Amino acid sequence: MKWKKFKIKTVTDAEDIIISTLYDIGLEGAQIEDKVPLTAMEKEQMFVDILPDGPEDDGIAYLSFFVEETEDGTLTVNGEEKTEEEILSQVKEELESLRMFCQIGEGSITVDETEDIDWINNWKKYFKQFYVDDILIIPSWEEVKEEDKDKMIIHIDPGTAFGTGMHETTQLCMRQLKKYVTSETELLDVGTGSGILSIVALKLGAKHAVGTDLDPCAISATKENLEANAIPEGSMDVMIGNIIDDKEVQDAAGYDKYDIVTANILADVLVPLTPVIIHQMKKGGIYITSGIIDDKEETVVEAVKKAGLTVLEVTHQGEWVSVTARKDF
């Protein structure tokens, strides 16, 4: 299947009104490209494989609308057949009408043809097996080589919603888990995502894991990855909600219960999380954090100390940081 892509150059302040206006003429499902910074709520949801801040917002936005094209080149909008020229003319007319009472910027339009893409599986070509020290991370569609069969093998299929373990922050946490997990470990994995840190802990011999996440997709993602790694049923529970301020999630997770808490999330989330999560930790419990860009290191270290925890180790990989601490009370 082919599509015609109508791409409009505009300004960020006009995104909503242009999308609404073009929706009225049958152009639905806009793709938005801009440099608007993430909101606090959006940042809270980025619990795995965190990226650094993006480029400065320049106020420019690109809105793309896709129209299905049949084999004979006909375009269909709201069930009506139209030519490319007719659609282009109508879009230009609507944009000029908007100019009369709001700033829409350049308002230029480009038209391209695009093939249908299998978005669900397209990412797979970028995810190959890799090592974290003596741990092999491998997707389900790749074979384990003979020389790797004596290694700890983690099968992980992150899908479209969560990270792969390739990011430095995940690797930093994995290395700390190797140091502290025992056969008696009860683990709390905040922002579990694909469940990779819990699975590593369980493979290392942890007794049980609990994962929390804001994204409901974490339930199916962790279930599939647990099954792929032959983790016995009942070894991990996953709950959806914000443990920072949701009392039900806090109660469900339990108090004074965990030997290790992992939190591979943004520094701006770790700061409010830390004074809360100490109540879930046992005395002597270990707190492993990452998702911390290097210029936020001191911010997190201070938050950890302020919560009464003892900083044991600060480790680095590239521009990323992990802070490991212990609860001594």
At residue 48, the pLDDT reads 42
Name the pLDDT band for 239 (thresholds 50, 70, 90). Answer: very high
The residue-averaged pLDDT of 93-121 equals 83
- For residue range 125-173, list pLDDT tens digits in order: 667 788 899 999 988 778 899 999 889 999 987 554 456 667 888 999 9
Q: Can you give the pLDDT at residue 50?
A: 47
Sequence-ordered alpha helix ranges (H) in 80-167:
84-99, 119-122
Q: Which of 206, 195, 276 is nearest to 237 (CA)?
A: 195
Q: Which of 307, 306, 295 is nearest to 267 (CA)?
A: 295
The whole-angstrom separation of Cα 62 and Cα 54 is 17
- Strand bridging mode 75-77 / 135-138: unpaired
Percent of the chain with pLDDT over 90: 55
Predicted TM-score of the model (pTM): 0.68
**Is pLDDT of 311 > 70?**
yes
Average pLDDT of the residues in 213-228: 90
Q: Name all domains of the chain by residue range, CATH numbers in brackets.
A: 2-116 (3.30.70), 163-326 (3.40.50.150)
Q: Let me know: does 297 contact 323? Beta carbons within 8 Å.
A: yes
Distance (Å, rounded) from C-alpha 152 to C-alpha 161? 25
- Could you report how far apart the first and last alpha carbons of the chain are, in Å? 62
280: which DSSP letter? T
Q: Is 45's pLDDT higher than 80?
A: no
Helices within the chain (DSSP H only): 15-24, 40-45, 84-99, 119-122, 168-180, 196-203, 217-228, 247-253, 267-277, 297-306
Q: Distance (Å, rounded) from C-alpha 325 to C-alpha 273?
A: 14
Backbone φ, ψ for residue 305 (5° rounding): -65, -40
- Beta-bridge partner residues of 62: 9, 33
Say what the pLDDT of residue 49 is.
43
Question: For 167-215, how does the pLDDT look when each residue is reduced to its tens digit (9 = 90+)?
Answer: 888 999 999 999 999 999 999 999 998 899 999 999 999 999 999 998 8
